[in-house]
Structures are given as C-alpha cells and as structure tokens.
C-alpha cells in the first residue's frame, strides 16, 4: 500500500495517544483515504480540547514551524510517497516550497476561496497576502479543488466533497412551521458570518436560531434570548435530529467553497437560506434561497418558504447529492494519477 502524507494547518489535540480536531473534513478525509493508502498526518498541536477523534494510526502534531519542517524532512526520504497539502496558509505554503526544493511535487487541495477568507479576516491586505502564496503554490504543485472558480484559471482537478451516507438520505420528515426555527451548523468564526446573523435576527423575536458548533473552552460568547448554542456534534444520528427538529437551515457565511452542512440540509430536505456573497454555491440544486443581509429581506424569505414548503420539498427530491463514498474514491483516483 502506497504511503500518503497529509499536511494540514488544522489544530489537533492529543490526549492519551488519541487525536482530536474540530473540522469534520479533517477527520473523514484521512480516514476515508486510509482504505487506499497508508496515511501519515502532520498537523499543528493544539492545547485546546477538540471534538472529533481522528482514527488514523500515524499522526504527528507540531508546536512550531521548525518541528513542522523537521517532520516533513524525515518523511521525504520515502521515494514512492505522495504529499497532500490541505489549503494554503503560511504554514502549508512554506511546507509546499520546502517539498519542492526537495524535488517533491505536492498535491494541494483547496476547499474554499482563500482570497475571500483572507479579506474577511485581514481586510484589504488579506487578498494581497493570499495572492502571493497562491501564485507560487499553483506553479509548483498539482491542484485539486471543490469549485472551478477557486482555481482562478489555473490548471487543476475538481472533486465533490460530501459527508453523506445512507442514514442522511432515509426517513425524511416534513418540517413543522408552527414556529420559525433556524439552524446553523458550523464553527463560530467571523468569516462564517454568524455574528452578523445573530445581530440581524435580534429584532425578530418570533424567529429562533440554534447554533451547533461551539468549541470547547471557546472564548467566543453570544448572549441573546432567541439564540441557543450547543457544542460541536460528532454523532450522525444526533446531527440528523438537529436538522429534523428545525424547519430552515441558514448559512450566513461571507465566503464558502463547497459547504458540507448545506448538503446535509438538502439531504434532510430542509430549505436553505444563504446571502448574496455566496450565491455561487447554488449551482443546479433546488431548495436554496438567497436573502439580502438585512432583517426585512430575511423575514420575507422565511415567509416565502413557510407558505410554499410542500412545493419546495417536492422540488428538492430532484437534487442529486454526492456521497462521502463517491468523494473519497474521486480523491483517491486523482492522488494516484499525479506523479
């Protein structure tokens, strides 16, 4: 079995020989690829407790960039091994250059639009920083992305990420609209637009919002009467229950590539509200509605969904949603193809 080294900027917590992360993709992708490759995962060390256990044998966490590079140097001696870098960050950017200097051409997997993410986080300087890194990385690596526009005209291959399995696609329920119950599942981050959304619904007292994605020991706090917050959920059946117990899923992000939670909502046939910044995620999918980022427009969109829910759900049956099994096979085949 060929060896695949996965290099990520994600923070990973270690406890008694077990490793945990908050990003579900950081767990499921290495685990899925372990059916085809001997996986070795290199990530940043976290002191904060994380939620999802990564069930991969060989994991190394690094508490500095020097140890990060040292781990890569130790592994690069294996001539037949392949290197998969997740996203472009300062850490992974330097790792990519380091590998190329050692005559290895890494595979870089882009899950979202770094230009937009860096803009939200760092302001006008963000896209300039990301452009500098992207321009170099795109010329010294193989690119894989979940959306064509993320490649910015550079040569690359597309995959369709998904966490869906049979459990998500069975026993679908029609939502009850007696009360408006919005759901957001994702990490509480500025770029996810969650603080903007909380402020936006503050005056809509007949609308409640449930957030599932609070990190353990998080410093971020939201105190609002119509907002309920729960920790990250790692059990599929519990996640499904969250979707089924709410009538609309809302994705307030300022930037998204291929949001997994959106696919989960569509699988449970829960209408999805997004805002104009990420209308590109709609594609050919049914059941996604675009609102302006103000309370009046949001309320209009909610009322339209409530009045037309049966027709909307009927249309959502036509969606063709990728599964995790499909995604892992696509990813495995692409990695094998690259020299």
CATH number of 78's domain: 3.40.50.2000
Query: CA nearest 23: which of 58, 50, 41, 44?
Result: 50
Same domain (yes/no): 9, 55: yes
Q: Which domain holds residue 148?
A: 3-162+325-337
pLDDT tens, N- to C-terminus, the chain (339 residues): 789 999 999 999 999 999 999 888 999 999 999 999 999 999 999 999 998 999 999 999 998 888 888 887 777 777 778 999 999 999 999 999 999 998 999 999 999 899 989 998 899 999 999 999 999 999 999 999 999 999 999 999 999 999 999 999 999 988 889 899 999 998 888 878 899 999 999 989 889 999 998 765 554 678 888 999 998 888 999 999 999 999 999 999 988 888 899 999 999 999 999 999 999 999 899 999 999 999 999 999 999 999 999 999 999 999 999 999 999 999 999 999 997
Same domain (yes/no): 56, 70: yes
Helices (H), 217-308: 236-244, 260-267, 295-307
Q: How far apart are the first and last CA of the chain?
A: 16
Q: How many domains is the chain partitioned into structurally? A: 2
- Under DSSP, is residue 2 helix (H, G, I), strand (E, B) or coil? coil
Same domain (yes/no): 29, 157: yes
**Helix 324-337, helix 24-33: angle, nearest 10:** 60
Between CA 244 and CA 328 the distance in angstroms is: 27
Same domain (yes/no): 204, 289: yes
Between CA 229 and CA 21 the distance in angstroms is: 19
């Amino acid at each position: 079995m060929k060896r695949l080294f996965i290099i990520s900027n994600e923070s990973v917590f270690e406890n008694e020989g077990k490793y945990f992360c908050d990003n579900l993709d950081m767990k499921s992708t290495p685990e899925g690829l372990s059916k085809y490759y001997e996986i070795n995962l290199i990530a940043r060390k976290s002191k904060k407790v994380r939620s999802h256990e990564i069930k991969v044998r060989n994991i190394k966490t690094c508490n500095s960039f020097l140890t990060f590079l040292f781990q890569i140097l130790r592994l690069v001696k294996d001539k037949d091994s392949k290197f998969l870098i997740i996203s472009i960050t300062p850490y992974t950017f330097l790792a990519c250059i380091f590998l190329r200097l050692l005559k290895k051409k890494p595979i870089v997997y882009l899950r979202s639009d770094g230009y937009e993410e860096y803009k939200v986080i760092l302001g006008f300087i963000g896209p300039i920083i990301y452009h500098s890194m992207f321009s170099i990385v795109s010329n010294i690596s193989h690119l894989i992305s979940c959306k064509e526009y993320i490649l910015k005209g550079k040569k690359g291959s597309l995959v369709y990420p998904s966490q869906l399995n049979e459990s998500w696609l069975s026993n679908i329920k029609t939502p009850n609209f007696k009360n408006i119950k919005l759901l957001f599942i994702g990490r509480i981050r500025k770029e996810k637009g969650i603080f903007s959304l909380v402020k936006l619904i503050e005056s809509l007292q007949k609308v409640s919002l449930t957030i599932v994605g609070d990190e353990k020991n998080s410093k971020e706090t939201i105190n609002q009467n119509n907002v309920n917050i729960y920790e990250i959920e790692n059990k599929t059946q519990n996640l499904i229950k969250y979707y089924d117990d709410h009538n609309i899923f809302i994705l307030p992000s300022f930037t998204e590539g291929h949001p997994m939670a959106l696919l989960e909502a569509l699988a449970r046939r829960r209408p999805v509200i997004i805002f104009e910044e990420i209308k590109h995620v709609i594609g050919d999918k049914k059941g996604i509605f675009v609102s302006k980022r103000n309370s009046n427009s949001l309320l209009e969109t909610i009322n339209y969904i409530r009045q037309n829910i049966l027709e909307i759900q009927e249309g959502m049956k036509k969606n063709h949603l990728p599964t995790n099994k499909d995604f892992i096979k696509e990813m495995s085949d692409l990695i094998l193809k690259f020299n």
